[in-house]
Amino acid sequence: MNLTMTADQKLLRDEIRAWLAEHAPQGPAPDLATQEGVGRARAWERELFDGGFAAVQWPKRFGGRGADPVATLIFYEEYLRSGAPPRLNRLGLGLAGPTLIDLGTPEQQDRWLSKILSCEHLWCQGFSEPGAGSDLAAIRTRGEVREDGILINGQKIWTSWSEHADWMFALVRTDPESRRHAGLTFLMIDMSDPGVDVRPIRQINHAREFGEVFLTDVLVPHENVIGRIDNGWHVAMSTLVHERGASLYTAAHFSSFLQDLIDAVPADSLEDAHVLAELGWLHEHIEAYRYMTLQTLSQVAIGKKPTAQASMGKLWWSELQVRLYELGLQLMGPAAELRDGEQGDPAPVRWRQRYWLSRAAMIYAGANEVQRNIISERVLGLPKDKRHAL
C-alpha cells in the first residue's frame, strides 16, 4: 500500500478542489425536514451531476467517472473540506445504483441509473420491519406473484427519507411457505403508487428522516424485480456489501468532528490530563481507521471483495463516533442536557443530534453484534454457534 499520491491523483484532487471552490454552497445545510430544504438539496445534486461529480466511483458508461477506490476517497475528502452540504441521495447513489450496476438488466439500468445521478429520483430502503431489523431474514411483508405483477402487503419501518422519496428498493417474501433466507424477492416500488402510505417518525433529536411505510395491495410490475423471484437474498447481500464496505464516514469526517469537539467544549477542559488523554485516544484511532480504510480500498482496487473487512470497517467507524460524541456531551456539562425550545449556542444542539444518530449507526447497515459474528467466523476462524444455526 503506497500512501503517496501519484501525479494523476494530484491532478484529480486539484480539479475537484477548484470545481468545489467555485460551485459548493456555503452556509447552513438545507433543512431536510422541509420541502424547501429538500428542493435546495436536489438542486445541488443536479449541479454535481452537471459537473460530472454525482458519483465519481460509478463506471463511465453509467454516468460516473470510473474513479478507482483511492480516487473516490480523494473526492469525498475534498468534498468534506469544501464545506459543501451533506449528500441527499445517498441510498440511491450508494446502494440502489451499485446494485443495479451489479445485477440489473440493461433495461433496468437505462431506466433508473441516470435519474439516480441527477436526483430526479430520490431513493429509500425498504428492508427493516417491526420484528425484522437486524434479523433481516425474518421479514414478513408479502408479495403475491400474479400474472400482472406482484401484489405487496406489509409494513416497513426506519425507512430513511421515505417522506420525500420517489422510489424504494425493498425485500419481500414471495413464497408464503418459505422460511428465513429462501423465498424472498428484491424489487423496486414506486412511492407514488396507490396503496403506499408514508408516516414520518419524529426522532428524539426532533429530526424526521425516518418513516413507517405501509403497503396495501401495491401492485409492482414484474420488470421491477432485480434478479429472480425468490432469489432476493442474494441481491440483498450484494446491496449490504456496498452499504458496509463503502463506509458512510471517512477518516476526514472524524478529524472534522474531533475539531468540532475541541471548538465546542469549555477551554479549561482542554487543560485536564484525562481529557487530553481521551482526545489523544480518539486521534490515534482516527488515524488507525484512516490506514484501515486505505488498506480496504487497496484490496478493492485489485478486484478483491471487502466482505469480512467491510464488517470490520463498519464496526470501527460506528463505535468510534459514539465514543467521540459521548466525550463531547460529557465535556459540555449542563449545556448538553436534552430539552425542547433550545436557545443560544447551537453547538450542544448539533452535538446531541449527532450523538443520537451515532447510536442508531450501531444498528443500521447490519447490527454490530452481527458484524462481530462475521469477523469471528471469517477472520478469526472461530466455530459457529450451532445453537443459532439457520
Containing H/E element for 201? strand 196-201
d(CA 312, CA 316): 6
Grid cell for residue 242:
456496498
Q: Is 213 helix (H, G, I), strand (E, B) or coil?
A: strand
3 state SS of 146: strand
Which residue in 144, 243, 278, 284 is the catalytic one?
243
In DSSP notation, 2-42 reads --SPPHHHHHHHHHHHHHHHHH---SSPP-TTSHHHHHHHH
Indicate if 36 belongs to the active site: no
Give, in order, the Cα–Cα distances in Å from 8 to each of 2, 67, 76, 157. 14, 11, 17, 44
2's CB contacts (< 8 A; 6+ apart) are: none
Q: Which residues contact 200 (CB under 8 A, 6 or more apart)?
A: 162, 163, 208, 210, 211
Mapped onto helix, strand or coil, the DSSP state of residue 180 is coil
Angle, in degrees to the nearest 10, between helices 251-264 and 273-301: 160
Cell readout for 321 is 463516533
Phi, psi torsion values for 55, nearest 5 degrees: -150, 85
Burial 270-304 (b: 16+ CB within 10 A, else e): eeeeebeebbeebeebbeebbebbbebbbbbeeee
Nearest to 86, CA basis, from 147, 44, 36:
44
Residues noted as catalytic: 243
